[in-house]
């Protein structure tokens, strides 16, 4: 049993502890699906105010739903569509305070109001995106973005 109880006083510490737990969780495991599944569970369980956390994989230039925690979600997202598709097409982190104001946003769960999407790139190849959603407007700040990028770097070596 893995029992990671992360309770940090500030965000920097929270993401440092979360990254350390994720490193430990994926260490030595070559199966990307297993690692994405555990990563989604750990992130969802650790970050407060989150209603969806998981992965879309780049399968032949289309994003296809991967392991996640939260409500059942859209299965296929073309590059360039929605927040995830924008992250895949631009390879830039997308931090959106109000998804309803984001042109082309794909509403998988009507409860989601803000979103953080981190591209996962290894050796110049986009492997997947990490998508984290919140019902709170502007849930994610620059510290969440930096923390999310760190998690994405760990996953780039684990999938
Ligand atoms: N809202 C996302 C779709 C994925 S779900 O939120 C899980 C988007 O616009 O890309």
Nearest CA to ligand 1 atom 4: 108
CATH fold of the domain at 11-158: Beta-Lactamase (3.30.450)
Own/partner contacts of 42-47, CB < 8 Å, gap of 24 or more, are 42/4, 42/18, 43/18, 43/69, 43/130, 43/132, 43/151, 44/69, 44/70, 45/4, 45/69, 46/4, 46/6, 46/14, 46/18, 46/21, 47/14, 47/18, 47/132
Please indicate whether residue 83, judged by its CB atom, sits closer than 6 Å to ligand 1: yes
Please indicate whether residue 159, judged by its CB atom, sits closer than 6 Å to ligand 1: no
Mean pLDDT value across the chain: 95
Per-residue pLDDT tens over the stretch 54-103: 999 999 999 999 999 999 999 999 999 999 999 999 999 999 999 999 98
How many angstroms is it from 128 CA to the middle of ligand 1? 13
Tally the C-alpha atoms within 13 A of residue 149's C-alpha that lie toward its C-beta. 11
Confidence (pLDDT) at 1 = 60
Please indicate whether residue 55, judged by its CB atom, sits closer than 6 Å to ligand 1: no
Q: Is the dihedral of CA 109, 21, 119, 115 positive or negative?
A: positive
Q: Can you tell me the distance from the alpha carbon of 125 to that of 118, in angstroms, rounded to the nearest whole number?
A: 14
Please indicate whether residue 106, judged by its CB atom, sits closer than 6 Å to ligand 1: yes
Q: What percent of the chain has pLDDT over 70?
A: 97
Is pTM beyond 0.85 here? Answer: yes
Q: Can you tell me the distance from the alpha carbon of 156 to that of 159, in angstroms, rounded to the nearest whole number?
A: 6
115, 116, 135, best to mutate for ligand 1 pocket (most atoms within 8 Å of CB)? 115
């Amino acid at each position: 049993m893995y029992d990671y109880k992360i309770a940090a006083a500030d965000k920097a510490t929270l993401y440092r502890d979360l990254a350390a737990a994720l490193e430990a969780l994926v260490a030595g495991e070559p199966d990307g699906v297993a690692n994405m599944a555990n990563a989604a569970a750990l992130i969802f369980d650790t970050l407060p105010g989150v209603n969806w956390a998981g992965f879309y994989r780049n399968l032949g230039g289309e994003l296809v739903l991967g392991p996640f925690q939260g409500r059942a979600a859209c299965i296929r997202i073309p590059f360039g569509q929605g927040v995830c598709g924008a992250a895949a097409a631009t390879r830039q982190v997308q931090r959106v305070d109000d998804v309803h104001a984001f042109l082309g946003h794909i509403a998988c769960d009507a409860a989601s109001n803000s979103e953080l999407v981190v591209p996962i790139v290894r050796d110049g190849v986009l492997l997947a995106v990490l998508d984290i959603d919140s019902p709170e407007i502007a849930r994610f700040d620059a510290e969440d973005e930096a923390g999310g990028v760190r998690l994405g770097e760990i996953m780039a070596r684990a999938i």
